[in-house]
Structure 1
Amino acid sequence: MSFVNEYVSDEDAEKYDLDNLWNKYNYTAMIKMPELLDHFDVHQHDWCVDKERDYWLFNCGFLTSENSRSGYPESSNKEVFILHINDQNIEFILAHHGMEATDLYPIHFSYNLVSMSPSSLPNMSRESLLNILKDAINIFKYNGIRALEENAKTLIEFDF
C-alpha cells in the first residue's frame, strides 16, 4: 500500500494528539483545535497515511513571521509537516515558493528544506526519510483530501 489522503478518525486524532500538534505551530490563531474543526466542512483532521507501514504525514500549516510590514504576526512561506515513522514524529519545516503556472498545472510550487528534527532515525537515514516525505507530499499535494480538485491541478517540485 502507499500513501492516501484521508480524514483522521477521532480515535487516531486523540492517540497522536493532533489537536496539540496543530496548536503548537498555529499559536497566533484566534480559534484553537479542536474548536476550529467546527469551521471545516468535515469536522475532522486530515492526513496522508500509509496504513500498511503505519506512516502518516500531518500538515500543521504555515508558521508566522514576526517581521512583517504591518508590525503584526503574518503567515510566512514556511510550512510545517509532521512525518510519523516507527512511532516517532519527525518535524519538517519547508519553505514554499510559487512557480510559473501552466495550463495543465495552474498550481505549481517548490519546497526547500529549512529544517528537519531529528535528522535521522536509528534504522533509517536522512535520505530515506526525505524520500518518504517527498512521496507523501506528492500525494498530499495542495491540501490533502480537503482539496481533491485543486490537487489534480498541482505540480510540486523539491529543491532538496
Structure 2
Amino acid sequence: MPFVNEYVSYEDAEKYDLDNLYDKYYYWGLKMPEALTYFEVHQHAWCVDKERGYWLFKCGYLINNNSISGYAEASDKEAFILHVNGQNIEFILTRNGLGATDLYPIHFCWNIVSMAPSCLQNVSREHLLNILKEALNVFKCSCIRDLEDNAKSLIAFDF
C-alpha cells in the first residue's frame, strides 16, 4: 500500500507520542493537545504507509530567535519526522517557490537543511531519502488538511 494522507487515530497519536513530538519542534502558539482545537478536525494528520509501517509527521515551522525585529519569529525551516523500521528520523526542510503554471499554481522545491540520523542499520541514506520523497509527493502542502491546495501542487526536490 502506498503512502496516503489521513488523520491519526487517537491510539496511534498516543503510541507514537505525537503531542510531544509536535511540542518539541513547534515553539509558536499553542502546545498540544490544545493546538488541535485550531484545526477543523481535532486530530493529528500524517502521511502513512500502513503496509510498511512508515509515516511522515510535520511538527511545524521552527522559530528564528535572531530575527531582524529582535523578536522570535517563524523561520522558513519546517520540522518533519519520518518513521521507518521503528525509528524516527528528524528532517529539517525548507521549500523554495518555483514558477507556477495554470495547471499547478503551487509549485515548490523541498531542500534538506539537516537529517538525523543520516542512516539506519540496514537502511542507507539514499533509501531513506527515496522514502521521504515518496511521502512528500503525497503530503504536498498540508497533508489531509488542505486537499484543494494539494490538488494544485507540483513538488520538486533538491536532494
Q: In the alignment, which residue of structure 2 is the partner of 1:132?
A: 131
Q: In the alignment, which residue of structure 2 is the partner of 1:75?
A: 74
State the Cα distance separating 1:107 from its structure 2 match: 0.8
Kindly provide the amino acid, as one letter, of the partner of residue 138 in structure 1.
N
Q: How does 1:88-103 map to 2 (within 5 A)?
A: 88-103=87-102
Runs of 4+ off more than 6 Å: none
Q: In the alignment, which residue of structure 2 is the partner of 1:12?
A: 12
Contact 1:48 1:57 in 2 (8 A): yes
Q: Distance in 2 between matches of 1:45 and 1:37?
A: 7
State the Cα distance separating 1:83 from its structure 2 match: 0.3
Q: Percent identity?
A: 69
Q: In the alignment, which residue of structure 1 is the partner of 2:152?
A: 153
Q: Distance in 1 between matches of 2:52 and 2:75?
A: 32
The answer for unaligned runs of 5 or more in structure 2 is: none
Contact 1:77 1:97 in 2 (8 A): no
Across the aligned residues of Structure 1 and Structure 2, the Cα RMSD in angstroms comes to 0.8
Give me the TM-score of the superposition, normalised by structure 1: 0.97
State the Cα distance separating 1:67 from its structure 2 match: 2.1
Q: Distance in 2 between matches of 1:30 and 1:155?
A: 29
2:38 counterpart of 1:39: yes
Q: In the alignment, which residue of structure 1 is the partner of 2:25?
A: 25
The answer for unaligned runs of 5 or more in structure 1 is: none
Q: Distance in 2 between matches of 1:6 and 1:90?
A: 20
Kindly provide the amino acid, as one letter, of the partner of residue 12 in structure 1.
D
2:122 counterpart of 1:119: no
